[in-house]
Structures are given as structure tokens and as C-alpha cells.
Amino acid sequence: MSIKPIVYENGVCRMIDQRLLPSQEVWIDYDDYQGVAEAIRSMVVRGAPAIGVAAAFGAAFAARDIDAADFETFECRFADCCAVLGATRPTAVNLFWALERMQRVARENRTLPLVALKQRLLDEALDIAAEDERINRAMGQHGQVLFPERGTILTHCNAGALATGGYGTALGVIRAAVEAGKKIDVIADETRPFWQGARLTAWELAQDGIPVTLICDNMAGYLMQQGKINAVIVGADRISANGDVANKIGTYSVAVLAREHGIPFYVAAPLSTIDLTLTDGSQIPIEERDRREVTHCGGLQLAPEGIQVYNPAFDVTPARLVTAIITERGVASGDYVQQLARLKAVSFSF
């Protein structure tokens, strides 16, 4: 049973503070959209699908608290609140996807009395959260067949239950393989500078009893050279129409290493992560984060005072290095332009 990082109950959204894991398990309650926006911005909640789920609840809280006499006034104020939520982080497209979905549902239900419309929006946020876990389980089934019966899989960052509505994208495929009886060992990159691999991936796999070994990011090549890695799997924050993949900084280096060593490099991501409005990965906005993440660790200064720092939070792996993209509707490989468009066009609900 994997953790759910966001739980809704009686008008309150409870999120596990991922900044404190693994040493402390602290849950924080949010009951307004400003609080949810701050939770996303400050990384209490992180990971592309989880950010989308949180934003949907933020939008539902905003809707609930809008005082308006007619739909036009409501819609205008709702758009302002969604803009605040959308300004929190730029790279993960699931944030914008969820906010657009909430605004579309509002428009489609404009004839409802406002009280009923507000309830409809809360129901939509609950659907987005529950659907995300079902999507991850479907992705797990499509993806786990790509893994050997016995093998060691390297992952980078956290693409687990904590980064989603539950179960995980890349870690969901690993979970599904283990549930199918495969003997899987995981190698988790620590993922500097925010340590999502050490703090989150290692923690949640250990909680589930899935064998995991933590390595520093710069050890991956050595393990591959020694034949110790059978496959790599990562999540994604945004995938452009041609299959270029934006994911946590360091992912591109792992993909290059995997190609050099003939190791398959898989990406697991829901279709909401695929942004068909961008033709290639150069158009994906890359977040730059605080210099302190690079110069400090746990409050301890590790670099000279005033040193120049560059801290991009994501990089883009070109589609040619990606063996396959695993989605809830199937696996794309090769001609991503055609295949991703086809998968996005299929419509059935989860």
C-alpha cells in the first residue's frame, strides 16, 4: 500500500510535508487557495502529477470562497485565483492542465446555481486525484512487461506515490513489476541538489519493502559500465509533441550514459504530462531555483561565500535517447510525433 501525499477531508486538504521527509512525517492542513499555492511554491508538495492534484484542490477552495452574484463575476474571479496557482512553478505542465480542466468544467456548468457549481468543482478535484492513481496503475501494467523477470532498475529523482495522487509513475511501473512477481532491485540516484532520490524515493521504496540501494548521482556511469543496470526508468514534468522529455536535472546525463551502455531508457508519464502545443523540448520553460540549494546542505554552507551559482531544476532529454514512453493508454516508441498524438486523441475515462 503506497502513500497518498494529498488527502481531502471536510473542506481541508492535508499534505505530507515532503521537505521534512524522511526524518519527520508531518502533515499540514490547507483550506484556502493561497495556502495551496504556497505549498506548491515551497515544495511541501512536488512532482508533476501531485502538483496538478494540489492545484485542482486549490482551485476548488478558491471557487468555494468566491462571493459572486452571477457566473460572469464568478468566472472572472476564478480566473484570477487560478492565475495565482499557475504562477507557482513553471515546468510541470500538469499544473496548467489541472487548472485549465477546472476552468473548463466551470464554463461547461455555467447554468448551474453557484452553490451547485462550487460542489461540482470540488467533485472534479476529487476525480482528478482518484483518477491519477488509476492512471498510474494502468501505466504500471503497460510498463512492467518491459522489465526482465529479474533485474536492477535505476531511477532518478522521485516519480513515486509521493509525486502523484498515489502509486507513482516510474515507481508505479516498478511496483507493478514487483506485484507481477518479478525480482526487481532498484538503484536510486540521490538527485542533487534537492535530494528527491535520497529523501523520497529511498524512503517510499523501503516503506514498501522493495529492495533499494542509494547512490550518488555521479556513480551511475560506473554501475552501468560494470553491467549492473538492466534498465532506467524516470518520470517527466513535461513532454513535447516530438517526445523530448523535461525531467529533474541530471536525467539527461543518465540518458546519455544509458545510450552509451546499450541500456533501455524508459519514461513513465500520464498523458496530461504531454504538451502537444510545444513542438520540441527547447520550448519547455525550465525553472531556476535558489542558489542556496547548491551552496548549502541541511543549513551547512559547502561553497565559498558569494560564489557564482547556476541552479536549473530540470533538463531536457532528446527523444532519440528515449527507448519508450509509457502512458496509461499504452507505450509509444520510435515515431513519437505520430504516436503521442494518437495516444492523446484516444478518449476513454479512467
For ligand MRU, the binding residues (CB under 6 A) are: 46-49, 92, 157, 159, 163-164, 169, 196, 235-237, 247-248, 313
Give the three-class secondary structure for 308: coil
Residues 6+ apart with CB under 8 A from 248: 156, 157, 191, 196, 234, 237, 313, 314, 315
Residue with cell 532518478: 156
Residue 81 vs 269, nearer CB to ligand MRU: 269
CB of 248 to ligand MRU, least distance (A): 3
Nearer of residues 94 and 105 to ligand MRU, judged by Cβ: 94
Letter string b/e over residues 317-337, b meaning 16 or more CB atoms within 10 A of that residue's CB = bbbebbbbbbbbbebbeeebb
Q: Catalytic: which of 67, 70, 217, 237?
A: 237
| Cβ nearer to ligand MRU, comparing 60 with 95 | 95
Minimum separation from the CB atom of position 55 to ligand MRU (A) = 13
CA 190 to chain centre: 17
**Dihedral sign of CA atoms 183, 324, 160, 101 in order:** negative
Grid coordinates representing 51 are 502538483
> Who's near 137: CB < 8 A, 6+ residues apart?
167, 172, 176
Phi/psi region, residue 10 (left: phi>0; alpha: psi -120 to 50; beta: rest), is left
Residue with nearest beta carbon to ligand MRU:
235
Of 63 and 200, CB closest to ligand MRU: 200
Whole-number minimum distance, CB 210 to ligand MRU, in Å? Answer: 16
Report the DSSP beta bridge partners of residue 9: 12
Shortest Cβ distance from residue 204 to ligand MRU (Å)? 12
Is 174 within 8 Å of 212 (Cβ atoms)? no
Q: Supply the minimum distance, in Å, between the C-beta of residue 62 and ligand MRU.
A: 22
Q: Is 237 a catalytic residue?
A: yes
**Whether the Cβ atoms of residue 184 and residue 210 lie closer than 8 Å to each other:** yes
Query: Which C-beta is closer to ligand MRU: that of 122 or that of 169?
Result: 169
Query: Catalytic residue numbers?
Result: 237
